[in-house]
Chains A and B, each alone.
Chain A
Amino acid sequence: MRKFLLATAATLATTAAFADAHSPIKLGVVLGFTGPLESLAPAMAAGAEMAMSEVSDSGMLLDGVMVEPVRADSTCIDAAAATSATERLITGDGVVGIVGADCSGVTGAMLSNVAVPNGIVMISPSATSPGLSTAEDNGLFFRTAPSDARQGVIMTEILMDKGIESVALTYTNNDYGKGLADAFQTAFEEAGGEVTISAAHEDGKADYSAEVGALAAAGGDRLVVAGYVDQGGSGIVRASIDSGAFDTFHFPDGMISQALVDNFGSEIDGSTGQNPGTDSPGAKLYQDMASAADYDGTSPFSAEAYDAAALILLAMQAAGSTDPAAYKDSVMDVANAPGEQILPGELAKGLQILKDGGDIDYVGASAVELIGPGESAGNYREVTFENGELVVVGYR
């Protein structure tokens, strides 16, 4: 028995030694392939995996190291399932970095229960809760999505520019809704506005007359709906229009989608909103690359997922190591100025510059600029609704 153990250990040691040079490294892609965000997960995973194959094909990463994606299901809502899936990726598959997760709640759980104890870098493409900015992360956690604290400020600017200083606010009763509502209320009141009421609504419920009654009684020039378009958010909007409580709204990112226009058409004319988006050349480039690869690059957070994977790989090149403890410090360096700007599809160029000892400023598909505790500064698209169409007004 003892000999057998020794032999196994010896074999393992030699394989590991060989592995260092040429065996592929693995990156985890932990997204909610089932659950409330299951419609977004495929395009996000495709984005992350496209960046990985681009790097593998270039053969430039640390003298030809290949990158393999390993998918796992975060479920978006079940923290225990997400934690054990991540645990398996790290101990079983031996991933050296993780793109994920998607929803704020599970991301926080994965970070504190698995990533930090194991010292693995996590870059989330879509967790936006302000709470994650202050999470204990040992410098291992980044996100290519902006914090909702930022969105609260942008919303305030849009509304103030329109001269709207009194609003009623309703939010979906979860981490996202509550976080965004609080961030917005703080920013709006600081700017001198008034939030007449901040009322939660539960998703998927039978009847929203009580909520709309309360919102209407409190009054306000506009109703801010921090909810989900295919959940309670639309129910609130429908009941508000029908009862004449509000006829214009302001929609944050969870509400902006084609479904909103399909549901309400010209009934919400004059409403405003914003969601993450950029008019940088990278966005267009990425969408073309996505179409060529046969998936929808305009799908929310798909570009951010591409950038998350690209950042991990570029940071490895800059640090000259696939060890998370080494490359975690390079993430901010490759993401921000100074250096040569790198767009999607130019990862090979970026790797080459880093190899030659140069500096890069990764712009990527979503105009990445990491600030503060390693989160995207945030670029938002301001939209209005006119004649039953969603119109992009500008970018902030």
Chain B
Amino acid sequence: MEPLNALVSLANFVLIPATAYGAQLALGALGVTLIYGILRFSNFAHGDTMAFGTMAVILTTWGFQAIGISAGPLPTALLALPIGIAVTGLLLLGTDRVVYKFYRTKKAVPVTFVIASLGVMFVMNGLVRFIIGPDDQLFSDGARFLITAGDFKRMTGLDEGMAIKTTQVITVVVAVIVVAILFWFLNRTRTGKSMRAYSDNEDLALLSGINPERVVMYTWLIVAALATIAGTLYGLDKSFKPFTYFQLLLPIFASAIVGGLGSPVGAIAGGFLIAFAEVTITYPLKKVLGYLMPEALEPDGLIQLLSTDYKFAVSFVILIIVLLFRPTGLFAGKSV
């Protein structure tokens, strides 16, 4: 029983939360990496795009709840996703028309785009706070747990509990589906291929008759979908607060850069790497070792590699190491 207890304890506090967090980061990083690959700039407004998308979903969810539509044991927010994505898509296309298009036709250098995106970030920041306010919003409904820690203990007779939240399962399942569709789209469809061509070599793509405005439009729509889904999954799992979404920008960029900017596979790997690094390195092994070691060798201290204060340093150390030895990231994206 002892090794099982150790495993369950590790799963409950490390593996399950890190997997869900990793999936959320991966979806966010995918959006950042797509914009970097195709539109060639780091979009600082991505965190606030996620906040805007989630806000649209929340408002739709409240509307659905008011007229009595629900998804049974699943959160109503999943039904509201398409509407949220559509609204966010319109906002992003509008932003592109008003802001980015101007710089694109002038063939501005990437840093100009980055600074413009910073401005867009502040506007979206204000917009979200103006519409829904700066406070926490809880919008998850339906069943909260697939299995609670208490139930697990009763079922298995183990000392350690393992809780699996519905939102964690939904997060991982939805992330897998979204990634599968995205890869199918990029590799198999005509539009997807033209996007990759445009990303690889803009001049050649233009010569072979690819319409750049169409590519840009599809990119924004896909980014809107990814951002809204990532934001909603995160909000369901934790809670929605505009400021937190702004802060999410940091781990998301770290994920995208570690994986290799411009590389979708890299974004996913980076997301999970950052999430697991943050949670595992600061996890005290006291309990786990307590179960595994013979009584005499049981540790007194916490056996913690790093205090949780340094959690954020971990992502940055990984980032620095990767950039030092592989400047293009793990999966050879573009050099930063």
Contact = CB atoms under 8 A, between A and B. Distances in A.
Interface in A29-52: none
Interface string A233-261: 01100110011110000000000000000
A269 interface: no
A2 interface: no
A202 B309 CA distance: 8
B161 A209 contact: no
Contacts of A211: 282, 308, 311
A298 interface: no
A216 B283 CA distance: 10
A213 B162 CA distance: 12
A213 B14 contact: yes
B172 to A, nearest CB: 15
Given A197-B302, A210-B278, A218-B302, A204 B243 contact: yes
Contact of A204 (B161, B241, B275, B283): B241
Given A173-B309, A213-B14, A217-B284, A204 B244 contact: yes
B279 interface: yes
Contact of B12 (A214, A235, A238, A244): A244
Contacts of B278: 207, 210
A212 interface: yes
B251 to A, nearest CB: 6
Range of interface residues on chain A?
Answer: 20 to 34
Contacts of A207: 17, 21, 238, 275, 278
Secondary structure dominating the interface of B:
helix
B196 interface: no
A305 B308 CA distance: 37
A213 B13 contact: yes
A213 B247 contact: no
A212 B239 contact: no
A206 B12 contact: no
Contact of B13 (A199, A234, A243): A243
Residue from A202, A213, A214, A242 whose CB has the most chain B CB atoms within 10 Å: A213
Contacts of B247: 204-206
A214 B279 CA distance: 9
5 contacts: A197-B302, A199-B309, A217-B283, A217-B288, A243-B149
Interface of B: 9, 12-14, 17-18, 21, 135-136, 138, 145, 148-150, 152, 161-163, 165, 234, 238-239, 241, 243-244, 247-248, 251, 275, 278-279, 282-288, 302, 304, 307-309, 311-312
Given A210-B283, A230-B135, 16 more contacts: A206-B238, A207-B21, A209-B18, A210-B278, A210-B282, A211-B282, A213-B14, A214-B284, A217-B284, A217-B285, A219-B287, A234-B239, A239-B17, A244-B12, A245-B13, A263-B138
